[in-house]
Structure 1
Amino acid sequence: MIVRTTEDGSKTVYSEQFKQYYHSVFGAKTESEWVYIDLGYLDAIKKFEEIRILEVGFGTGLNAFLSQKMADEHQIPTSYVGLEAFPIHPDLFQSLNEDLQIYHTCEWERPFRLSKYFSFEKREIHVENYECNQTFHLIYFDAFAPDAQPELWTAEIFEKLRKMLIKDGVLTTYCSKVIVQKNLKQAGYKIEKHKGPPHKREILRAINQS
């Protein structure tokens, strides 16, 4: 894995295993704010008094950091579960933005209260094997692209995740490929297309209406 500074000054990591960057080289923070915070978190707090988030693809911890920032700023009780099957190697922690390091030093499989309004847990597990007894208001789907991880972008996976969402809960993702839209619709979501961040035409918000 290789750490790279992106155009907005935030950092991303290149996975040699999947031949993919974790975030956009045109601005990692910009992309995450656009896809997961603006389209997801800030929409959710209009509908819900508390937010339970599931992230598929914890990666660098950037989405967790931005969500904690919003939870503290808006004083919204927020719990966050990040799933990651291929954790970043500990040797890279110190090369990431300082704000992200706390999420990597937290132990796996153990919940932490990181602020008055934000609790955090990361699980080292494949989403295919993840089971839980709680529901979520919001899912950040931030797996590697379908070309790299096609097994994660199926109707079966999306249906499994939809069943974890409460009614009117949403899934947001950076990928708007036709096959992704098709599989989300087949899994029972209502699809919304939204303008993407720099160098990306569209992103998706999928709503659980059942």
Structure 2
Amino acid sequence: MQNATNHIKRELQLTADGSHTLFIPEMDEHYHSVNGAVQESRHVFIEAGLHQLERKEITVLEIGFGTGLNAFLTLLDAEAHQRKIHYYSVELYPLDADVIGSLNYGEMICTGRKDVFQALHQAEWDVSVPVTEFFELHKIQGDSNTCDLPDRIDLVYFDAFAPDKQPEMWNRNIFDRLYARTTGGGVLTTYCAKGAVRRMMKEAGYSVERIPGPPGKREMLRAIKL
């Protein structure tokens, strides 16, 4: 998720499915669900987002690169289904190398792929980098409200911190910008289910539905550009 500040303490925590999350005491906020970080990301972004698109080549935009978990799961899914993913991710404050090195996703999710997980974080910023045959990464260091975004987006992972923790990331302008750049039939998915967020998405033009959330969360939102 996209951080509010770069000078902040982050604590490594183990979640219910054995995967790590990071906790920011100052914000009282986690990067991923304590009920299962990997489980949450798979449910919200892979199953409710990526698996809803049958296109053989997909452009993904992620709001908040954070730990790289969503990118890693998307890369593995792209390889499993042999379809090309062009993955853009916006992050204002990248994690330090020592924090990245402590995360267990590279060993836990897929044995022997730690080097690939590390490659996501080591990839140069603001250029497109082919990480695997089916996955190309373009990390954008900047503020999602003001930075240049790609055109013809098929799928948006909206993974900023919660609206009550980072309200500046949840606004009508950003949903207008995303809608304008999303292809017909494109999908936006987020763990958030707040009514105010749903209304902003609808006002931007999306068709929005509440769907079952991951363990520990009753609902989430999925928006579609019809």
TM-score by length of 1: 0.94
Gaps of 5+ in 2: 1-9, 107-113
Residue deviations 1:157-190 (CA, integer Å, cap 9, x gap): 1111111110110100000011111111111110
User: In 2, Cα distance between the equivalents of 1:17 and 1:129?
Assistant: 25
Aligned match of 1:111: 128
> Within the alignment, does 1:6 sit opposite 2:23 as a pair?
no
Q: Write the letter of the residue equivalent to 1:50.
A: E
Is 1:129 matched with 2:129? no
Alignment equivalent of 2:66, drawn from 59, 63, 68: 59
SS in 2 for 1:34: helix
- The 3-state SS of whatever aligns with 2:165 is coil
Check if 1:204 corresponds to 2:221.
yes
Mapping 1:4-83, distance limit 5 Å? 4-44=13-53, 46=54, 48-83=55-90
User: Any idea what the Cα deviations from partners look like across 1:117-165, whole Å, max 9, x if unmatched?
Assistant: 1101211111011214522100000000000111111111111111111
Over 3 Å counting, the alpha-carbon distance change for 1:138 and 1:197 in structure 2 is same
Residue 156 in 1 paired to residue 151 in 2? no
Partner of 1:192: 209
Q: Which amino acid letter does the alignment assign opposite residue 72 of structure 1? A: E
3-state SS of 2:49 partner? helix
Q: Paired residues, what number?
A: 207
CA distance 1:138–1:16, change in 2 (3 Å):
same
Judge conservation of contact 2:208–2:224 (CA < 8 Å) in 1. yes
1:178-207, CA deviations, whole angstroms, 9 ceiling, x for partnerless residues?
111111111111011111111100011101
Q: Indicate the residue corresponding to 1:175 in structure 2.
A: 192
Taking a change above 3 Å as real, the CA distance of residues 16 and 87 of structure 1, as seen in their structure-2 partners, is farther
- SS of the equivalent of 2:145 reads helix
The alpha-carbon distance between structure 1 residues 93 and 9, as it changes in their structure 2 partners (threshold 3 A), is same
Task: Say whether residues 1:142 and 2:149 are aligned partners.
Answer: no
Taking the aligned partners of 1:93 and 1:127, their CA distance within structure 2 comes to 22
Map of 2:3 onto structure 1: none
- For the residue of structure 2 that corresponds to 1:59, the secondary structure is coil
Using the TM superposition, name which of 200-209 and 103-112 deviates more: 103-112
Listed as ranges, the gaps of 5+ residues in structure 1 are none
- State the distance in 2 between where 1:18 and 1:119 align: 33
Amino acid at match of 2:45: Y
CA distance in 2 between counterparts of 1:133 and 1:10 reads 31
Q: Distance in 2 between matches of 1:161 and 1:196?
A: 22
- Using the size of structure 2 for normalisation, the TM-score is 0.88
Q: How large is the RMSD of aligned CA atoms in angstroms?
A: 1.3
